[in-house]
């Protein structure tokens, strides 16, 4: 058994590592979830945050690097840069040629991965906890945080990759186009209105100089969180991190203040004619940010609406009326107020306006006659999904990293279940009326080209 962390030991460790490495290290948070899961947050003198979760359910560790940069941090005239960087970060650095990181990780039995969204970008590897695997990952990740080489040839090649990706997931995929249109019309001032993958014209307009500025502003230790969860020795791990990352310089970080999206006061609708066989319907409703009190209530309402064959909308549109083949819903855990989305795949020949009216009717009924059994089932389903997300090191690291990046609150990963507790039926009905009212809806309809209405 390795060393376990309690609150006192976590704080002692910061002083010991600081003395051993000459790097300022502070312990700024600790949270114990149960006998197995406890995590501590450390901050280096250059601003890098480190979250360590030692847990030995399996001899593996997940290593994730989270940057507080996503598509909302871009210039409205130069979108897609954050996602483009996700690609470029796997290219050459001053110390390593392009492809060496991927080859080394594959040699050690794993693959690298990454993701970009509206609020963040993160990079991840999961490896066996043996040999010099941890030291090797630390070396590569600290290196590419500040030493990426940005040259014209690499940039132009990767831009073409991203442009092809955009063609595949947006221009040649009706669900991607529906989503892009939804956010473009539901948001009028907030940067959530543009797509993470970027506009084609902006990708074509970008320059290496643009990339250099973006990299220096956002890829710096003071805008990053390293999360390591799994079979690790806290003292040795923190020491290795301090030695690798401690010398990296902090950078002046932009502190944007985004305009709050004004309250929507009337329904909005967009109709697209496309070469498709059957119509599709996408609705978006302005919803709370993931840290706001009502977020959990909207999650529960979503469970009641679309989860399982007995979900209200699935039962009404698919089983009862027979106008749709599928209904799905999602509430993104954005750092700022986002959307609850409903996607309805209609049968060929179905009337999308009539289907939208059925959806509106069911949403109105939700605000009037929701019952305790539905509430209890929704709570149970959400709690199970949350607990399931913590079953391995990678899931734990992702939960810790996202919440620390969005809110400087890694500990919320262990208390998410509280947001579904003690929700009264009256409270859920009131939230349904506020969120799912017709004036708060933006509807995007895709219908077969040339079809008569």
For residue 34, which phi and psi values (nearest 5 degrees)?
Answer: -160, -165
Catalytic residue among 3, 55, 74, 86: 86
For residue 179, give the 3-state DSSP assignment: helix
Residues 401, 198, 253: CA angle, nearest 5 degrees: 50
Cα(35)–Cα(24) distance, rounded to whole angstroms?
30
Listed in sequence order, the DSSP H helices in 250-371 are: 295-306, 312-314, 352-369
Write down the residue that tokens 């959806």 correspond to.
359
Helix (H) or strand (E) segment spanning residue 19: helix 7-21
Paired tokens of 425: 């039926």
Write down the residue that tokens 């066989």 correspond to.
277
Cα(322)–Cα(316) distance, rounded to whole angstroms?
8
Residue 121 near residue 115 (C-beta atoms within 8 A): yes
160 is catalytic: no
Write down the residue that tokens 């993958």 correspond to.
197
Which pairing describes strands 268-274 and 441-448: parallel, antiparallel, or unpaired?
parallel
Paired tokens of 422: 């003690």
Which pairing describes strands 60-67 and 224-230: parallel, antiparallel, or unpaired?
antiparallel
Choose among 405, 23, 40, 12: nearest CA to 241.
23
For residue 427, give the 3-state DSSP assignment: helix
- 250-to-244, 256, 261 alpha-carbon distances in Å: 14, 18, 32
Name the DSSP class of 449. T
Active site members: 86
């Amino acid at each position: 058994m390795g060393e376990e962390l309690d609150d006192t030991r976590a704080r002692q460790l910061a002083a010991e590592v600081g003395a051993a490495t000459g790097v300022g290290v502070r312990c700024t948070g600790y949270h114990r979830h149960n006998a197995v899961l406890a995590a501590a947050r450390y901050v280096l003198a250059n601003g890098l945050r480190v979250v360590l979760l030692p847990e030995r359910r399996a001899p593996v560790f997940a290593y994730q690097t989270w940057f507080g940069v996503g598509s909302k941090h871009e210039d409205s005239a130069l979108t897609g840069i954050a996602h483009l960087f996700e690609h470029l970060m796997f290219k050459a650095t001053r110390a390593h040629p392009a492809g060496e990181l991927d080859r080394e990780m594959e040699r050690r039995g794993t693959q690298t991965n990454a993701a970009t969204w509206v609020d963040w970008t993160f990079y991840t590897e999961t490896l066996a906890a043996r040999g010099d695997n941890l030291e090797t990952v630390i070396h590569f990740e600290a290196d590419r945080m500040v030493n990426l080489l940005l040259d014209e040839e690499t940039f132009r090649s990767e831009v073409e990759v991203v442009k092809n990706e955009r063609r595949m997931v947006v221009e040649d995929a009706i669900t991607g186009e529906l989503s892009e249109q939804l956010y473009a019309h539901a948001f009028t001032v907030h940067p959530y209105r543009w797509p993470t993958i970027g506009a084609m014209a902006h990708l074509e307009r970008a320059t290496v100089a643009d990339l250099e500025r973006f990299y220096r502003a956002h890829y710096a230790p003071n805008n990053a969180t390293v999360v390591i969860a799994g079979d690790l020795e806290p003292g040795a791990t923190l020491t290795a991190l301090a030695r690798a990352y401690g010398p990296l310089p902090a950078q002046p970080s932009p502190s944007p203040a985004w305009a709050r999206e004004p309250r929507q006061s009337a329904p909005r609708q967009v109709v697209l004619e496309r070469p498709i066989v059957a119509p599709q319907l996408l609705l978006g409703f302005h919803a709370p940010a993931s840290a706001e009190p009502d977020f959990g209530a909207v999650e529960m309402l979503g469970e009641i609406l679309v989860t399982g064959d007995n979900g209200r909308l699935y039962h009404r549109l698919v089983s009862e009326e027979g106008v749709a083949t599928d209904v799905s819903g999602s509430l993104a855990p954005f750092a700022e107020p986002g959307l609850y989305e409903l996607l309805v795949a209609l049968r060929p020949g179905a009337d999308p306006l009539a289907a939208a009216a059925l959806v509106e009717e069911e949403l109105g009924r939700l605000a009037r006659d929701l019952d305790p059994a539905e509430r209890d089932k929704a709570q149970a389903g959400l709690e199970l999904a949350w607990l399931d997300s913590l079953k391995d090191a990678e899931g734990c690291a992702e939960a810790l990293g996202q919440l620390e990046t969005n809110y400087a609150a890694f500990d919320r990963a262990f208390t998410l279940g509280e947001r579904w507790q003690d929700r009264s039926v009256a409270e859920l009905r009131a939230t349904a009326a506020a969120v799912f009212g017709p004036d708060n809806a933006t509807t995007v309809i895709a219908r077969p080209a040339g079809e008569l209405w």
